[in-house]
Amino acid sequence: MGISYFLPRTDLLLGAGVLSKLGGETVKIGNAALIVTGKSSMKRLGFLDKTVESLEKAGVSAAVFSGVEPNPTIQNVKDGAELCIEKKCDVVVALGGGSVMDASKAIAIAAGCGEAESIWDFVTGKRQLTEKILPIVVVTSTSGSGSHVTPCLVITNRAANKKAVLSSEFIFPRKSIYDVEIAKHMPQKVTAESGFDVLTHAMEAFTNKQSNPVSDALCLRAVELVADNLEKAFNNGEDLDARTAMAVADTLAGFAISTAVVNAIHPIANTLSGFFPEIAHGQALATLSQAVMKHNIENGSGELVKKYAQIAQALGEKVSGEMGKEDAMLSVKAVGELREKLGLEKGLAELKVPKEKFSEIVDTAMEISGETIKYNPIDVYNKDILVKFFEESQ
């Protein structure tokens, strides 16, 4: 059996207080930083000031672009890239969650080629990415999207209702600073949503057509860490051990999706958020996950079914020695229970997604994320099946 595996091209520092090392790391690759951040949390909590301070102390100048929205838009990217070009920045520093990191990656691409409005052409494949991209440094504030170690960005074109992924080896952050003192401040809702994202990355990469023995080991450990720590972090945000364990899980799952990618849950959830940007990524995943898992188990056999049974076991379910379909189905039950505990039990009706929209969402998912859907272990690149997932997720 052959294995394709490449190590992420990212230097990672993870722990309490590592934000102070940002300047020293950044000065190795740039002198003028554009700090990209979200709406208010990082300023309010004092981390924006600490970021500027660390950079300036190391001799790196800092301009600030704020206001990146959850489910970040191509408008956010254009505005940020314009400032980046105007200020002649030579490195982009993200300070925030997956949305900010993804927007920063996109800004680094657009500013790197000197065309602030270019990002959608890269996403749609009209233009090919090259090394002409500014180096990216990320300071992660959620646990998480995995974006701090992945070669991907996810961006929304509001006018077209499309949320799409761009992947390239050139998008790996060069430096990744994961200070759990920042993640500690996530409100419960963000802890739940981003934590569920970690779980979905691990479960999808583990069962994917692209899965391999290296990523499998990362995935199983990530699922165990989520099982042991997400509820703790949710119930007591100050629990630094649980926060650190979730940061590790986020990182392992991020490594895993970098080679083993995701299957059908992510592309349909992303498309859903493209139509309804107010639905957070983690909530969209939670709502749609069980229908896809159930379908994969019902139509799967052998190794795949065993893998879902291993997920059940890693989530703390008592499985029999057989590791057959009954055991595998316990993973669906465990995910349902976790959703309840984390306040992510909402179905599509409660999220105000009308049934009449299902068909259009599925058409769009098949159009813009067909490649990814095809990595699902069972063939679900079929309109009826994908619509069924939405019907079962009400």
Query: Would you tell me which residues interact with Mn ion (CB under 5 A)?
Result: 197
Min dist CB 147 to ligand NDP, Å, is: 4
- Would you state the structure tokens that stand for residue 135, as one six-digit string? 């180096």
Among the listed ranges 38-46, 238-246, 335-343, 357-365, the one in contact with ligand NDP (CB under 6 A) is 38-46
185, 243, 295, 307: residue in contact with ligand NDP (rule CB under 6 A): 185
Q: Does 39 bind ligand NDP (CB under 6 A)?
A: yes
Min dist CB 98 to ligand NDP, Å, is: 2
What mask, x for binding ligand NDP by CB under 6 A, covers residues 271 to 290? Answer: ----------xx--------
CA–CA distance, 121 with 304 (Å, rounded to integer): 37
8, 30, 38, 377: residue in contact with ligand NDP (rule CB under 6 A): 38
Locus of tokens 């190391």: 58
Of the two residues 69 and 326, which places its CB atom closer to ligand NDP in the complex?
69
Q: Are 390 and 289 in contact (CB under 8 A)?
A: no
DSSP lists the bridge partners of residue 156 as 73, 163
Strand ranges (DSSP E) for 289-356?
none
Q: Are 234 and 181 in contact (CB under 8 A)?
A: no
CA–CA distance, 330 with 157 (Å, rounded to integer): 38
CA–CA distance, 208 with 131 (Å, rounded to integer): 29
Q: Are 66 and 39 in contact (CB under 8 A)?
A: yes
Min dist CB 154 to ligand NDP, Å, is: 4
DSSP state of 206: H
98, 112, 237, 377: residue in contact with ligand NDP (rule CB under 6 A): 98
Q: Does 30 bind ligand NDP (CB under 6 A)?
A: no
Residues forming contacts to ligand NDP in the complex (CB under 6 A) are: 38-42, 70-71, 96-100, 102, 141-142, 144-147, 150, 152-154, 182-183, 185-187, 190, 193-194, 197, 270, 281-282
